[in-house]
Structure formats: C-alpha cells, structure tokens
C-alpha cells in the first residue's frame, strides 16, 4: 500500500495574462483519495490538464511510480496509466457499453470482432466496481452516474493507476452520488491513487483521505481530512473565515408576478402555482421530475399543450425566449457549456448578449457604455479574468458560471428563473450569489430557484415547489419545511410520507 504513486513538484503554467500555476505540487499515494481543492480559477483543472498532457508545463517535474514522465497528449497519459474522468463525458451515446469501453482497442476474433469476449471482459470490470450495468445496454439509456462508471471501467481496462475526477458530482443527483462513492471506495481498496476535485465540501469529508489546497495557482498546504473541520477547511480555501449560514430576509408584502394555471407541456403535467414579487420560490425534485422542463416551458422553449399564465397581470404565453425576455422573464440555464456560453466570444459580448437593445447608441452599439457596464459586473460578481476581452472558453468553470449569471442580471428581469445557479461555484462565490439573490429579492424581483442541493433550497426559499414525474406534489411554506417532509414529497405518492401536503 502506502506507496507514493504520483508526485507533481514545482509545477508552473502561464497563460497570456494569467499565472495559472505557480510552483504547485501534489503527492498522491496508492490506495488513497486525494482531494484537490481551491477557489474558482485556483488552477485545479489546469494542474490535471498538465498531468494528462492536455497542456505542457512551463516548469516542474511529474513522477509516476518513481519514474519521471511527460505526456504530450491524453492518449499517452492513458497508456502511462493516468486516466481522467471529465465532467463532460466522452462516450458515444449511440454505442453499447462494451463498445464504448473497448473503443479504439477492440478485441479481434477469428471472424471480425470478438463480441462475446468484450462483453465478458466489460462485465468483469463492472463487477469489480460492484455496479450492475448490462454491458449490452446503449450508453444513452444510462444515467449520468452510470455513464461515469462506464468511463471508469474504460480507465480500468487500460489498467490506470491514477484516476482523476474533475467535479464528477457537479451534475449528479444526490442519490447517484452514493453509488459513485461506493465505486470510488472500491477503487481505493484496489490500491488506485485517486485525485478528487469538487466544490461540494461535505463530499470531501465523506470520501477523501487527504486534501491539497491551491490558491491562485500556489500550493497552500496538504493534510489528512481527519484533522480538518468544515471551518478550518474553508479558512484554508478562502483565506478567511466565512459565514456558512444562508442569508435570509422575509419577503415584504408583495403582489403576484407570475401566476400559472394548469400548465401542461410534456413531460410537465397540470401545474398551477403563483410567484410573487420579492419572493424566492424554490423548486426541487429528483432528476427527471420536470424542473428544468417547467422552466423551459415558461421561457417559451417548449410548446404548451394546456393551461394558461399571467405575467404581471397580463396573459402570458411566450413562443420564444425572445418574447419571454421582452416580457421580463429570464431563464438562466443549468448547462453553461452546452447552451449558456458562446465559448469563442469574449466575456464582454457574452455578458451583453441579451441586452444589446439597451446599448443602442446613435451610431450603432454604444461600446463605451457597454465596457462600463461589463466592468461593473466583473467587479460586482468578482469574475476572475485578465480582461473583458478574454474568450469565455479560457475562464475557469466557476467564472464562466458568473458570466452567464451576469447576462441574466443585465436584462433586469422581473421574474428570474435560476437553474442550479451555484453549480461548480466555490464556497466563497456561493455566498456571494446567495447575497445577490437576496438583493434581487429586496428590489422586488421574483426569483424561482431550481436546485438539487437540499440545504440550499431550504436555506434560500420562502416557499418550495416539489415536483415528481412532471406533477406538482405540493407547495411547502418555509416555516413548515423540513428535509423529511420534502423527501417524502420528492419520492412521490408511493412513499410512506408522501401524503403530507401543505399549501402556502
């Protein structure tokens, strides 16, 4: 066991205008899970990309099992025994599980491919991880966690000794996190060295053995998780103590901003609720409960089969996001990479993309005003970027999220729907976003917040909608909300506690 498997020493890497890594180091032993922690833009992903050959380091050494190595691309790294499980999965959805696992190194039999052999071997690998997935299933039918397991199986096939996971639970519902963790545990038993990156700090205490902290690309310290408390960990991460409580203020007397009556838009069925100005309405449910679909229907992205709505007193039935935004409703997407950012455009253009109408000057766009307003958002939301002309793709994940949020805020919406607003955001920034939501609330914005993080929804919302399979299971007022009660509703009418229904 206790063998130093991976040693990264004095690693530096600079991008134009950014010293992403400044003599950072990382040591991982066989059979342990090492947490790699740091704020948004601290250099975690860059460190792992240097390890796996995506970027070339400017300085430093990487030693794998006693031998110095330099990988020039991801393929070399794989062959050298280093695998990385990205947040965006690299599987071919239309292919079967075993086909994905063996992609590029298919077993050959006498008559073409040795299918039976590959299926059997894949089954073996999955069994070693103690997961039940049929190797013949198509990948697109699997849940995200199951897809991650297929990726891990792929890594095991290549006999990876070091497995890196960059925010693997970012888009994972709670119940799937458990199964991922039992796989990680299994890998640890087998003596793999695992690097685990996450902004969900409770996970660090659940799964990690030791933690390494980076700040501004520099190594800040390394210690056993057993010696850490939540407070001391946050202190190390942010450099100052941080109030961990959710900021909350009760809503002022308000009027109805959005009233929805019997909305049906497949897979959402017959949903009625009201949303008031200056209120935060939490929306929760399992994956597939139709939370995002409800938001998309309200944003004009999905056709309505039945139902009606009013927005600020007037009938509301948007046919396109453009119409919804013009009426004062904005939806901030949960998937910033897929449909949030235009990666090739700079930070400035990304932020103002929805508000160009307001920037119209006498001679076309008023670029001066645009710069001024963008600068204000960069400062207010503390977006870490060398300049507003930096392309969005070069920002760290958390900072990209803030750019998408700025775009939403700039339209000054009357109703703002936030879909997983704190996804991939560090502890400090999370607090800032909560504060921001509170400010919006004080200004009379009606906020609908979709989140899978139970604590967050409970902490921020005035009322809660619980969805299950497209139906509204109940509305719970803040005072009477409890984790148990919500869980009962979330799991649907079949569960024991499912009967309790409170209306605000």
Partner 1 sequence: MKKNRPLVLGLLALVLGGALTVAAVVASQRFSNVLLISRATRLSLLQREHGQGALATLLFTHSYWVILLGLALLTLGFYLLHRHNLQSERGARLSRLLLNDYRPLVILLAATLVFSALSSRFLTVGNFTNILKQISHYAILAAGVYFAILLGGIDISVGSVLAFSGASAALIIARMPDSPWSAPLAVLAALLVGLIGGFFNGFFIARFSLQPMIVTLASLSIFRGATLVLIGGAAVSIAGTRYAGASLFNALGQQTLLGGYLPVPILIMAAVYLVVWYLLNRTAFGRHMYAIGGNEEAALLSGINVVRTKLLAYTASGLMAGIAGIIITARVASATPTAGQSYEMDAIAAVVIGGTSLRGGEGRVLYTIVGALIIGMLNNIQTLVGVDSYYQTIIKGGVILLAVLLDARSQRK
Site residues, Mg ion (CB under 5 A): 45, 397
Give the length of the chain.
504
Q: For residues 148 and 445, which CB has a smaller minimum distance to partner 1 in the complex?
A: 445
The reply on whether position 343 binds partner 1 by CB under 8 A is yes
Binds 212: which of ligand ATP, partner 1, Mg ion, none (CB < 5-8 Å by kind): none
- Torsion-angle region of 424 (φ positive above 0: left; ψ -120 to 50: alpha; else: beta): left
Q: Are 422 and 451 in contact (CB under 8 A)?
A: yes
Distance CA 326, CA 127 (A): 53
Binds 191: which of partner 1, ligand ATP, Mg ion, none (CB < 5-8 Å by kind): none
Residue 55's nearest CA partner among 8, 91, 102, 92 is 8
Q: Of all residues in the chain, what percent are helix, strand and coil, respectively (each to 5)?
A: 35, 25, 35
Residue 130's nearest CA partner among 96, 179, 196 is 179
Find the binder of partner 1 among 357, 379, 494, 503 (CB under 8 A).
357
**Minimum Å distance from CB 44 to ligand ATP?**
3
The reply on whether position 347 binds partner 1 by CB under 8 A is no
Q: For residues 156 and 425, which CB has a smaller minimum distance to ligand ATP in the complex?
A: 425
The reply on whether position 407 binds partner 1 by CB under 8 A is yes
- In the stretch 55-94, what mask flags binding to partner 1 with x, by CB under 8 A? x---------------------------------------
**Minimum Å distance from CB 243 to partner 1?**
34
The reply on whether position 340 binds partner 1 by CB under 8 A is yes
Strands in 452-492 per DSSP E? 463-468, 471-477
Count interface residues toward partner 1 (CB under 8 A).
35
Q: For residues 83 and 295, which CB has a smaller minimum distance to Mg ion in the complex?
A: 83
How many other CB atoms sit within 10 Å of the CB of residue 293? 18
Q: For residues 236 and 359, which CB has a smaller minimum distance to partner 1 in the complex?
A: 359
Q: DSSP letters of 368-411? A: HHHHHHHHHHHHHTT---S-TTSBGGGS-HHHHHHHHHHHHHHT
Q: Is 448 exposed, middle or buried (0-12, 13-18, 19+ CB in 10 A)?
A: buried
**Helices marked H in 80-138 — which ranges?**
97-101, 115-128
Q: For residues 420 and 462, which CB has a smaller minimum distance to partner 1 in the complex?
A: 420
- In the stretch 389-408, what mask flags binding to ligand ATP with x, by CB under 6 A? -----xxxxxx---------
**Minimum Å distance from CB 353 to partner 1?**
4
The reply on whether position 171 binds ligand ATP by CB under 6 A is no
Binds 303: which of ligand ATP, partner 1, Mg ion, none (CB < 5-8 Å by kind): none
**Helices marked H in 142-256 — which ranges?**
144-157, 174-189, 201-207, 230-238
The reply on whether position 14 binds partner 1 by CB under 8 A is yes
Q: Which of residues 410-449 bind partner 1 (CB under 8 A)?
A: 411
Q: For residues 192 and 348, which CB has a smaller minimum distance to partner 1 in the complex?
A: 348
Q: Are 349 and 342 in contact (CB under 8 A)?
A: yes
314-315 and 471-477 as β-strands: parallel, antiparallel, unpaired?
unpaired
**Minimum Å distance from CB 336 to partner 1?**
9
Q: Would you state the structure tokens that stand for residue 310, as one six-digit string?
A: 């009013």
Residue 40's nearest CA partner among 431, 434, 335, 425 is 425
Distance CA 302, CA 271 (A): 15
Q: Are 179 and 145 in contact (CB under 8 A)?
A: yes
The reply on whether position 387 binds partner 1 by CB under 8 A is no
Q: For residues 20 and 329, which CB has a smaller minimum distance to Mg ion in the complex?
A: 20
The reply on whether position 41 binds ligand ATP by CB under 6 A is yes
Q: Are 466 and 446 in contact (CB under 8 A)?
A: no
Find the binder of partner 1 among 163, 324, 473, 490 (CB under 8 A).
324
Q: For residues 90 and 483, which CB has a smaller minimum distance to Mg ion in the complex?
A: 90
Site residues for partner 1 per CB under 8 A: 14, 16, 54-55, 299, 301, 320-322, 324-326, 331, 333, 338-345, 349, 352-354, 356-357, 360, 363-365, 367, 407, 411
The site for ligand ATP (CB under 6 A) is made up of 15, 18, 20, 38, 40-46, 384, 394-399
């Amino acid at each position: 066991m206790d063998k130093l498997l991976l040693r990264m020493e004095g690693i530096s890497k600079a991008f134009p205008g950014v010293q992403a890594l400044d003599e950072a180091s990382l040591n991982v032993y066989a059979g342990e899970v090492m947490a790699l922690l740091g704020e948004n833009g601290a250099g975690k992903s860059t460190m792992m990309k240097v390890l796996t050959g995506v970027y070339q380091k400017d300085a430093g050494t990487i030693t794998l099992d006693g031998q110095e190595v330099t990988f020039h691309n991801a393929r070399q790294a794989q062959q050298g025994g280093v695998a990385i499980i990205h947040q965006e999965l690299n599987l071919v959805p239309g292919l079967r599980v075993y086909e994905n696992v063996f992609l590029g190194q298919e077993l050959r039999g006498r008559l073409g491919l040795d299918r039976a052999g590959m299926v059997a071997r894949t089954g073996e690998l999955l069994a070693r991880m103690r997961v039940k997935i049929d190797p013949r299933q198509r990948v697109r039918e699997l849940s995200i966690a199951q897809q991650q397991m297929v990726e891990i199986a792929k890594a095991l096939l290549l006999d990876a000794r070091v497995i890196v996971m960059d925010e693997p639970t970012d888009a994972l519902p709670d119940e799937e996190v458990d199964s991922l963790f039992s796989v990680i545990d299994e890998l640890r038993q087998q003596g793999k060295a695992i690097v685990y990156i996450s902004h969900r700090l409770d996970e660090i205490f659940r799964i990690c053995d030791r933690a390494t902290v980076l700040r501004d690309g520099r190594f800040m310290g390394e210690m056993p998780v057993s010696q850490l408390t939540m407070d001391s960990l946050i202190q190390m991460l942010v450099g100052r103590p941080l109030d961990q409580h959710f900021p909350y203020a009760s809503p002022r007397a308000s009027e109805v901003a959005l009233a929805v009556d019997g909305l049906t838009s497949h897979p959402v069925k017959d949903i009625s609720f009201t949303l008031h100005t200056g209120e935060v309405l939490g929306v929760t449910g399992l994956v597939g409960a139709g939370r995002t679909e409800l938001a998309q229907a309200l944003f004009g992205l999905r056709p309505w089969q039945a139902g009606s709505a009013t927005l600020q007193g007037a009938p509301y039935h948007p046919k396109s996001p453009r119409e919804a935004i013009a009426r004062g409703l904005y939806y901030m997407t949960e998937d910033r990479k897929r449909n949030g950012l235009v990666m090739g455009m700079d930070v400035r253009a990304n932020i103002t993309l929805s508000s160009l109408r307001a920037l119209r000057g006498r001679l076309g766009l008023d670029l001066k005003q645009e710069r001024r307003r963008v600068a204000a958002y960069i400062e207010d939301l503390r977006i870490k970027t060398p300049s507003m002309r930096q392309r969005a793709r070069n920002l760290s994940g958390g900072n990209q999220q803030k750019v998408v949020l700025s775009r939403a805020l700039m339209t000054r919406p009357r109703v703002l729907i936030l879909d997983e607003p704190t996804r991939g955001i560090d502890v400090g920034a999370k607090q800032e976003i909560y504060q921001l939501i509170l400010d919006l609330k004080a200004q009379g914005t009606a906020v609908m917040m979709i989140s899978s993080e139970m604590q967050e929804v409970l902490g921020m919302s005035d009322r809660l909608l619980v969805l299950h399979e497209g139906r509204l299971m109940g509305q719970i007022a803040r005072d009477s909300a409890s984790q148990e009660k919500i869980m009962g509703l979330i799991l649907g009418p079949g569960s024991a506690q499912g009967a309790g229904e409170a209306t605000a």
